[in-house]
Structure 1
Amino acid sequence: MDIRYSRSPSLSQRTDVSRWLRLARKASSHWALNDGLIWLHLFKTVAAALLALGIAMLLDLQQPRTAMTTVFVLMQPVSGMVLAKSFYRVIGTAVGTVFAILLAGVCVQDPELYLFGLTCWIGVCTAAAVRNRHFRWYGFVLAGYTAALIGVPALMQPNALFLAALTRAAEVSIGILCSSAVSALVFPIQATTTLFRTLKQRTIEFTDFAAGVLSTALPVDLFEKRFAALVDEIVGFEATRTFASYEDPDMRARAARLARLNSDFMNACARLHALHQLLKRLRGSGAAETIAAISPFLDELSVLLVDVGRKVQKGEPEMPELMERIKAFQTGLARRARETQREIERVAPRSMLDYVTAMELVHRFVGEFLSYCDIYLSLANSRKHVLDKSRARYEPQTSPYVVGLAFVRTVVAVGAASWFWIASGWPGGSFLVTGAAITCALSSTSPVPPKFTLQIAAGAALSLLFGCVFLSYVYPKIDGFPLLCAALLLPLGLGAFLMARRSTAAYGVGFAVFFCLLAGPDNVIDYAPDVLMNNGLSILVSMLLCAVAFAVIFPPQMPWLVEKIKRHLRGQIAMACTAPLPGLDGRFQSSTHDLMSQLRTLLITQSHRHRDALQWMLATLEVGHATIDLRGELQLATGVSGRTPKPRWLASIDMAVRALPVLFDQPNAKHLRSALATVNVAISTAQTHLEELEPHTAERYRMLRIIGCLHFVRTALLDRDAPFPRD
Structure 2
Amino acid sequence: MGLPTTQQWLFSAKTFAAASLALFVSLWISLPNPYWAVATVYIASNPLSGATRSKAIFRVMGTLIGAVAAVVMVPNLANAPVLLVLAMASWAALCLYISLLDRSPRSYVFMLAGYTAALIGFPTVNVPDAIFDVALARTEEIILGIVCAAVVSSVVFPRPVVTAVTQRLTAWLKNADACARDSLGAKAGSEADGHRLRLAADTGEIENLASHLVYDAGGHPELPRLIREIQPRMLMLLPVLSSISDGLRELASVGGLSGPVQAIVERLDRWLTPEWSNDSHELDRLRNDIDERIEPPGVQRTWRDLLELTLLMRLRDLTAIRSDCLQVMAAMAGNAAPRSTGFNYKISGVATPERHNDRGQALVSAMVSFATIAVCCTFWILLAWPEGGTAAMMAAVAGSLFAAQDNPVPSIVAFAKWAVVASAMAGLYVFGVLPHVHNFETLVLVLAPPLLTIGLLMSKPETFLIGLSLGVNGIATVGIQAHFSVDTAGFMNASIATICGVGLAAVMASLLRTVGAEWSILRLANANRATLSEIANAEDASQDARLTGVMLDRLILLAPRAKAAGHRIPDAIGELRQGFNIIDLRRARLGLTAYSRRRVDAVLIMLKRHYTGGSSAQVPTALLDGIDRAIDAVRDQRDASAPKALLGLIGLRRSLFPGQPAPPALPHAPQLLEAAE
Question: Which residue of structure 2 aligns with residue 68 of structure 1?
Answer: 38
The percentage of aligned residue pairs carrying the same residue is: 19
Distance 1:336 1:277 in 2: 20
Report SS of the residue matched to 1:357: helix
TM-score, length of structure 2 as denominator length? 0.89
Q: Is the 8 A contact 2:421 2:470 kept in 1?
A: yes
249, 270, 275: which one pairs with 1:310? 275
- What per-residue deviation string (whole Å, max 9, x for no partner) do you get for residues 21-53 of structure 1? xxxxxxxxx999x62222222111211111111
- 1:718 aligns with 657
Cα separation, 2, equivalents of 1:336 and 1:446 = 48
Q: Identify which of 623, 636, 654 aligns with 2:601.
A: 654
Q: Go from structure 1 to structure 2 and tell me whether the alpha carbon gap of 1:458 and 1:720 turns closer, same or farther (over 3 Å shift).
A: farther
Paired with 1:669 and 1:243, the residues of 2 have a C-alpha distance of 41
2:282 aligned with 1:334: no
Unpaired runs of 5+ in structure 2?
A: 661-677
Task: Give, in whole Å, the separation in 2 of the partners of 1:677 and 1:371.
Answer: 40
Mapped pair 1:129 → 2:69: no
Unaligned runs of 5+ in 1: 1-29, 313-318, 639-644, 722-727
Distance in 2 separating the partners of 1:574 and 1:545: 43
> Residue 672 of structure 1 is aligned with which of 619, 623, 630?
619
| CA shift for structure 1 position 680 | 3.4
Instruction: Tell whether the 8 Å contact from 2:328 to 2:338 is kept in structure 1 after alignment.
Output: no
Whether the 8 Å CA contact 2:66–2:115 is kept in 1: the answer is: yes
For 1:122, give the aligned amino acid.
Answer: A
Query: 1:611 corresponds to which letter in structure 2?
Result: H
Shift of 1:131: 1.9
Aligned CA-pair RMSD: 2.9
SS in 2 for 1:427: coil
Counterpart amino acid of 2:625?
A: N
**Secondary structure in 1 aligned to 2:166?**
helix
| Residues 201-237 of structure 1: CA deviation (Å, up to 9, x unaligned) | 32233224323422x2325233122212111111011
Bigger helix share: 1
Q: Deviations over 1:584-618 (max 9, x none)?
A: 44x5565334434434444545xxx44331x4212
> 1:578: how far off?
5.2
Amino acid at match of 2:247: L
TM-score (norm 1): 0.83
**Deviation, structure 1 residue 501:** 3.0
Task: Determine the structure 2 residue equivalent to 1:195.
Answer: 165
Partner of 1:397: 356
Which residue of structure 2 lines up, in the alignment, with residue 704 of structure 1? 643
Kindly indicate whether residue 338 of structure 2 is the aligned counterpart of residue 371 of structure 1: no
> Contact 2:246–2:654 (CA<8 Å) still a contact in 1?
no
Counterpart code for 2:287: Q
Contact 2:203 2:556 (8 Å CA) reproduced = no
TM alignment of 1:506-517, pairs within 5 A: 506-517=465-476
- Alignment partner, residue 307 of structure 2: 354
Q: Distance in 2 between matches of 1:334 and 1:513?
A: 60
Amino acid across the alignment from 2:657:
L
The one of 494, 499, 512 aligned to 1:540: 499
Q: 2-side partners of 1:370 and 1:128: how far apart? A: 38
Separation in 1 of the partners of 2:341 and 2:432? 63
SS of residue in 2 equivalent to 1:217: coil
SS of residue paired to 1:135: coil
Which of these residues, 233, 237, 247, is aligned with residue 206 of structure 2?
Answer: 237
Distance 1:516 1:137, change over 3 A: same
| Structure 1 residue 522: Cα displacement | 0.7
Match of 1:255 among 224, 243, 259: 224
Which one is further off, 439-448 or 184-193? 439-448
d(CA) in 1 for partners of 2:560 and 2:207? 17
Query: In the TM superposition, what is the alpha-carbon distance from 1:130 to its structure 2 partner?
Result: 2.0
Match of 1:631 in 2: 586
Measure how far apart 1:403 and its partner are. 0.8
CA distance 1:84–1:341, shift in 2 (3 Å): farther
Count of aligned pairs between the two proteins:
653
The alpha carbon displacement at 1:381 in A equals: 5.3
Task: Give the Å deviation of 1:145.
Answer: 0.7
Aligned to 2:664: none
Please name the residue that 2:390 is paired with: 431
Matches of 1:296 and 1:198, distance apart in 2: 32
What is the deviation of 1:128?
A: 2.0
Aligned to 1:22: none
SS in 1 for 2:106: helix
- The alpha-carbon distance between structure 1 residues 84 and 582, as it changes in their structure 2 partners (threshold 3 A), is farther
Amino acid at match of 2:242: H
Residues 669 and 192 from structure 1, CA distance in 2 versus in 1: closer, same or farther, beyond 3 angstroms?
Answer: closer
Distance 2:331 2:158 in 1: 26
Q: Which amino acid letter does the alignment assign opposite residue 650 of structure 1?
A: R
1:397 counterpart SS class: coil
Cα 1:555–1:140 shift into 2, 3 Å? farther
SS at match of 1:386: coil
Q: Distance in 1 between matches of 2:380 and 2:651?
A: 62
Output one character per residue of 1:509-558: Cα deviation in whole Å (capped at 9) or x when no partner.
11110111121311133310210110111111111111111112123417
- After superposition, the Cα gap between the structure-2 partners of 1:265 and 1:559, relative to the gap in structure 1 and judged at 3 Å, is closer
- Matched residues in 1 for 2:605 and 2:566: separation? 29
Residue identity opposite 1:143 in structure 2: A
Alpha-carbon distance between aligned partners in 1 of 2:457 and 2:535, rounded to the nearest angstrom: 45
Larger CA deviation: 506-515 vs 139-148: 506-515
Q: Of 482, 493, 496, which residue of structure 2 is paired with 1:523?
A: 482
* Inter-partner Cα distance in structure 2 for 1:416 and 1:388: 58
Which structure has the bigger radius of gyration?
1
